[in-house]
A and B are shown apart, each in its own frame.
Chain A
Amino acid sequence: MLRASSELAARMKEAEGFNAWACFHCGTCTALCPLGYEILPRKLFREAMLGLEDRVRASIPQIFSCLLCRMCEENCPAEVHIAENIRTLRYLINRQEFGLK
């Protein structure tokens, strides 16, 4: 059972530059990502927005592998600032907001 965290979800809403709520899950980004991780980027964003700490933490290698190439962002029909959002996640992880010690 995945448990959403109300606190983290609310925290995401304050995170600067993060706008993945606009995503409507077309899957374009995942299909285009040269890294081929199924988690990147839409599923990862969903997990962050729900405050699923464990899941986000488990995806740290992928989050830091992202090339910021913007292949995804360029083609996103919902104007999600994907690369920016990934940076935001890196920042939050560095600030230990996802329970990282």
Chain B
Amino acid sequence: MAHKRRIGVYICHCGGNISDHVNVKEVAEALLDEPGVEISRTHMFNCSDASQQEMVDEIKEENLDGLVIASCSPKLHLFTFRAMAERAGLNPYQYVHVNLREQCSWAHTGDKVGATEKGINLTRAGVAKCALTHPLTAIRIETQPRVLVVGAGVAGMRAAISLAGMGLSVFIVERGNEPGGWASQAGRMGPDDRYGPEVVANLLAQIRNHENIILYTSAELTAKSGHIGDFTATVRLRGEEDVSLNVGAIVVTTGFTPYEPEDGEYGWGKPGVVTLKDFRQMLEAGDGPLTYNGIPVRDVGFIYCVGSRQTKGDTCPEPNTYCSRFCCMATAFSASLLHEFEKESGQTINQYHLYRDVRTYGHLEAVYTNARADGALFLRWDPKEPPRVEQSNGRLAIKVKDTLLGDEELELGVDLVVLATGMTARKNDTLNNVLKIPESKDGFYNEIHIKLRPVETAIDGVFIAGTAQGPKNLAESVASALAAVVKTGGLLKKGYVNLEPLIAEIDTDKCVWCNECLKACPYGAIERVLCGDKEVAMVIDSSCKGEGACVPVCPQDAIDIEGFRDNQIMAMIDASLKELVAA
């Protein structure tokens, strides 16, 4: 150690959460004996404004060059105390956090003596680590003011327009021949009766008029390199030509695939059994009466929850356990479309809606209320006895046990059965290989935090929105697209981004370029470079997450992770076992 350190140690009561089970005074006193410790004291709440101000003053007055906070989990307050260190003029990476709550007091509630002893050891380890810290600066990356949007459904189109409105350049890559996604085929859409193709046409007109947006159709993202703020994306056009795009962020809006029923599932495959999409298109088709195979339709049965909310069973080994959210509203809205048709055409049509639970949440409730007010009959079935669809006398018969009418089975003769098929995750192997966005167990892309970080992914600079992230109706798809716009704008409009400097470092003298670290790194953060004549490994600062997979595999012991260096870890072990080592 070059010079003697001046470390401040602050032990927190956490208002009793810690001090009820750990004698914090005793911990503070014990720590005064550690080498380098100048100050060691307790606070009722380290995080309170008053305590923070006291610590800031002391760091300045005592000229401290190290800080150990022993309190709750760093998940809660790491950034609080880093900011506090900065206010005190101390490098934030010379502050070390010790978790005395989750890892000590809460874990040893019945044993104050033992917990106190452990608290002392944990804090000593923190001090030992702190003594070996040195100032670090965040890695600063210049960001490119361009965005790649993958998928031109409503979510992707809406995101592109708003991103361009922020002054960013946008490239949209759409795999199909036409933009628009499913909304192009959904006809008149609820809850507010907007015509899907028209919604799409309006968005497309705005995109065509925007000089900052380039839309590629019949195109696919086939490769990506670089890192947050500065990606290079390779896009294949019409399966032949490649273009290379330099972008700062990627927004993935690749949508969903409607559930495809199994053969025979609710009569699927029998004439007259159709999906909601088919039904919406039938309603739109002509001015004449509503017919199926030339026969006028008199009774229609709608079956809800098809392919959603499934339970595991012999016929369904991998159930879609989730609710698809849009289908109750979309089907109940179709009831009103059918009523309107009935009124205009004079053709009498009975509607039976066979549901499990009606989930027209929020203001969508009005859609359900309207459907009932107009004369759609809603019958509830039990998932243990789902409706069966059979052919009888040239028509279809739905057999169902209506929970209200009790045990006797009810037979409904109908001309059409409309299946409200849910949403499933889209198969997207090429894209998944390129972007490697984690998926939920249902196959939709996973956000970092469902409540607090709903459009960010584990891949920095890659955002998700719309139904690619999970089932949503149109309005929700747009809301999430705009959330992704805000996150993307926040990232790119500043011009730079700061990354954690707690990353791997390679000792090029020791390295013999055996390639082991490159194979171990899940983030592709290792590169081969020449150091003079010698081939060695190099860490790409902006890609490394400091995850540490490379450290144990290196046969030369040439890698250290900043903040978790070998000498720090060894010192922590020694310090926490001080009594044993001495004995």
By a beta-carbon cutoff of 8 Å, the part of chain A in contact with chain B is 1-4, 6, 9-10, 13, 19, 21-25, 42-43, 46-47, 49-50, 78
Contact = CB atoms under 8 A, between A and B. Distances in A.
Given A9-B350, A23-B372, A25-B380, A2 B405 contact: yes
Given A13-B375, A46-B402, A4 B412 contact: yes
B24 interface: no
Nearest to B397: A3
Interface in B343-400: 348, 350, 352, 358, 369, 372-378, 380, 399
Residue among B299, B348, B374, B411 with the highest chain A CB neighbour number at 10 A: B348
B408 interface: yes
Given A4-B412, A6-B298, A10-B350, A42 B377 contact: no
Nearest to A78: B372
A47 B378 CA distance: 12
Nearest to B406: A43
A50 B404 contact: no
Contact of A43 (B405, B409, B413): B405
A2 B348 contact: no
Contacts, number: 60
Interface string B407-424: 011111100000000000
A3 B411 contact: yes
Nearest to B299: A6
Given A1-B411, A2-B409, 20 more contacts: A1-B408, A1-B410, A2-B405, A2-B408, A2-B410, A2-B411, A3-B411, A6-B299, A9-B299, A9-B377, A10-B348, A13-B375, A21-B372, A22-B369, A22-B373, A24-B372, A42-B404, A43-B404, A50-B410, A50-B412
A4 B348 CA distance: 16
A24 B353 CA distance: 12
Nearest to A2: B410
A21 B413 contact: no
28 contacts: A1-B411, A3-B411, A4-B352, A4-B410, A4-B412, A4-B413, A6-B299, A6-B350, A6-B413, A9-B299, A9-B350, A10-B348, A10-B350, A13-B348, A21-B373, A21-B375, A21-B377, A22-B372, A24-B378, A25-B380, A25-B404, A42-B404, A43-B404, A43-B405, A46-B377, A46-B405, A49-B377, A50-B412
Nearest to B410: A2
B173 to A, nearest CB: 45
A49 B412 CA distance: 12
Contacts of B373: 19, 21-22
Contacts of B413: 3-4, 6
Interface in B2-24: none
A47 B299 CA distance: 17
Given A6-B298, A10-B350, A42-B404, A1 B377 contact: no
A23 B377 CA distance: 9
Contacts of B399: 1
Nearest to B398: A4
A6 B412 CA distance: 8
A18 B157 CA distance: 46
A4 B377 CA distance: 12
B354 to A, nearest CB: 12
A1 B369 CA distance: 30
Contacts of A2: 405, 408-411
B206 to A, nearest CB: 41
A101 B408 CA distance: 26
Contacts of A50: 377, 410, 412
A64 to B, nearest CB: 22
Contacts of A4: 352, 410-413
A23 B299 CA distance: 20
B374 A21 contact: yes
A2 to B, nearest CB: 5
Contacts of A22: 369, 372-373
A45 B63 CA distance: 84
A14 B450 CA distance: 49
B412 to A, nearest CB: 5
A49 B350 CA distance: 10
Contact of B405 (A3, A13, A24, A47): A47
A19 B358 CA distance: 20
Contacts of B299: 6, 9
Nearest to B399: A1
Residue among B350, B352, B404 with the highest chain A CB neighbour number at 10 A: B350
Contacts of A78: 372
Nearest to B409: A1
Contacts of B372: 21-24, 78
Nearest to A9: B350
Contacts of A19: 373
Residue among B299, B377, B399, B413 with the highest chain A CB neighbour number at 10 A: B377
Nearest to B349: A10
